[in-house]
Amino acid sequence: MFQPFFENLRGAAIPVSLREYLTFLEGMKKGLVTYDIEAFYFLARAAMVKDERNIDKFDRAFAATFKGLEAIPNSAVMEAVDIPEEWLRKMAEKHMTAEEKAEIEALGGFDKLMETLKQRLE
């Protein structure tokens, strides 16, 4: 998924290794950043730039790779991440304590929580 980014970094003469790229991918897999382009940028830079002399080259390669990303409307992002509600309910049931479940009910229930989440993501 991020292979073109890696190739652009190498093409910009940034000495990024496979190990650094895998570190970046591991951070993404663990969910260190989601839906935040600035945090994504800093994770990528921290993982793949080991010398401050390469930061400008990194910025140019990053911009070239992800040009236009900020222009994608939030509605398109929400449609692309359409997480099934029943899956979320099962995960909540599995991982939440009785106190957390009671707190959700006090706030209006799972449906209200999902509506609030959707509004915040937009």
Q: Give the orientation angle of helix 37-48 with respect to helix 55-65, to 10 degrees.
A: 130
pLDDT of residue 9: 95
Q: What is the pLDDT of residues 72-103, one digit of tens each?
A: 676 666 666 666 777 777 877 788 888 888 88
b/e map 74-90, b = 16+ CB within 10 Å: eeeeeeeeeeeeeeeee
Q: Determine the straight-line distance between the first and last CA of the chain, rounded to whole angstroms.
A: 24
- pTM summary value: 0.58
